[in-house]
Amino acid sequence: MNIDILTQIFIDVDDFFKTFEPEIERLRLESGLNGIRNRKTNLSDSEMMTIYICFHHSHYTNFKAYYNEYVSVRWQDEFPGLCSYERFNSLQKRLLIPMIVFLKEHCMGKCRGINFIDSTTIKVCHIKREKQHRVLNGLATKGKSTMGWFFGFKLHLIINDKGEILSFYLSKANTDDRDMDVMNVLTQNIFGKIFADRGYISQVLADYLWNDGIHLIYKLRKNMKKQNISDIDKVLLRKRALIESVNDELKNICAIEHSRHRSLQGFLNNLVTALCAYHYLPKKPSLNIEPIYDHQQKLIPYAA
């Protein structure tokens, strides 16, 4: 892995913890015991989070092998307080909340008026083993995508034209892409236009978003009337494959999906750190477009 990316990730994470930890201490509930056990570890939380995020930039698909064969061998100088894998595994449980906050505050892009939406499957096991699955029993569900039936979850994403993730939502596998609760969360800080595939065809949804100042543009079925949209919007609609490239990088580069989870905590840690790791990819799928806004941050024309 590039040492410059490692350094950049650690600097960002360490700066985040400098503001996060005092705030957590301020909000911590007082314990009824005489003393609060809060021993400092040789490996700081910022170092552990950095190692976790960097795992998704490596060619390893197994974190234990990555830690024992790569981190413990090559990064002794960068992390002098390295502990055993078993100790690291017991300590990483406290990283979930800081990682979620770090993801939301530092790894999300900014809306530029040109947005793409899609959902992708997050499989937790092969569909034939769904009845034998125990780790996420009661949480993972059976659903159907364009590629067939699967068992797990759905990850809903909105990205901008630069390939940056603007918002995400993890839902059950059988959740409709047009679910109002999901769309309400996803589009909280979104404005301008959203380009979608045929899975988002819904006049009710389009009217709902229009009332919030968002224009939903989707691919039509063959038996539907043509939309009254501009030629530029037609070109951008054909560029909707951009978000498919983002989903591909999340799965094949950042390893957001695998079937070896041992706990719900491990599943969520892997998901959040993969999204964080995507933010640090040196090159993301993007369009060579520069939007223009007025003083109210409303999209005017598109400029190439």
Which residue, chain included where needed, has tokens 């015991």?
33
> Residue 156 is inside which H or E element, if any?
strand 148-160
The answer to whether position 292 is within a domain reads no
Q: Which two tokens stand for residue 35?
A: 């003393």
Whether 303 maps to a domain, the answer reads: no
Q: Residue 51 domain-assigned?
A: yes
Can you tell me whether residue 51 is helix, strand or coil? helix
**Boundary of a domain, candidates 78, 106, 134:** 106
**How do residues 158-176 score in pLDDT, each as one tens digit?**
999 999 999 999 999 999 9
Asked whether residue 123 falls in the same domain as residue 99, the answer is no
pLDDT number for residue 221: 83
Q: Is the predicted pLDDT of residue 188 greater than 60, yes or no? A: yes
* Cβ partners under 8 Å of residue 223, min gap 6: none
| pLDDT digit string, tens, across residues 202-220 | 999 999 999 999 999 998 8
Q: Can you give the pLDDT at residue 195?
A: 96
Place of tokens 């993301």: 284
Q: Per the structure block, which two tokens stand in for 102?
A: 């770090």
CA angle 163, 164, 165 (to 5 degrees): 120
Residue predicted with more confidence, 100 or 302: 100
pLDDT confidence bin for 275, thresholds 50/70/90: very high
The verdict on 30 and 148 lying in the same domain is no
129 domain residue, yes or no? yes
From CA 119, how far away is CA 100, in angstroms rounded? 20
Residue 225 token pair: 């009337």
pLDDT band at 304 (very low <50, low <70, confident <90, very high): very low
Give the end-to-end CA distance of the chain in Å, rounded to a whole number.
34
Joined together, the tokens standing for residue 20 give 């996060």
Higher pLDDT, 303 or 212: 212
| Residue spans of alpha helices (H) in the chain | 3-27, 45-55, 63-65, 72-74, 85-91, 96-106, 180-186, 203-211, 231-238, 241-252, 264-279
Asked whether residue 36 falls in the same domain as residue 177, the answer is: no
Inform me whether the pLDDT recorded for 11 exceeds 80. yes
Tell me the sheet residues that pair with 143.
Answer: 150
Calculate the alpha carbon distances from 90 to 68, 241, 265, 266, 269 in Å: 15, 40, 11, 11, 13
- What is the rounded CA–CA span in Å between residue 110 and residue 189? 9
Q: Of 48-57, 126-135, 175-184, 216-225, where does mean pLDDT reach its minimum?
A: 216-225
Number of domains, the chain = 2
pLDDT at residue 4 in the model:
84
Q: Does the pTM exceed 0.75?
A: yes
- 149 located within any domain: yes
> Any idea of the CA torsion for 225, 228, 234, 238, to the nearest 10 degrees?
-40
10 vs 114: CA distance, rounded Å? 31
Whole-number pLDDT of residue 129: 92
Q: What angle do CA 28, 31, 36 make, to 5 degrees?
A: 90
Domain boundary among 106, 133, 159: 106
Supply the range of the domain harboring residue 19. 3-106
Residue 300 DSSP SS3: strand
Question: Considering Cα of 278, then 280, then 285, then 289, what sign does the dihedral take?
Answer: positive
212 vs 217: CA distance, rounded Å: 15
Rg of the chain (C-alpha set): 21
Instruction: Between 297 and 209, name the one with better pLDDT.
Output: 209
Among 290, 298, 254, 252, smallest CA distance to 107 is for 254
40 and 164 co-located in one domain: no
Residues 25-70: tens digit of each pLDDT: 777 665 545 555 566 778 899 999 999 999 999 989 889 999 999 9
Using the 3D structure, point to which of 72, 106, 140 is the last residue of a domain: 106
Residue tagged 């530092």 (tokens): 106
Q: What pLDDT, on a 0 to 100 scale, did the predictor assign at position 39?
A: 65
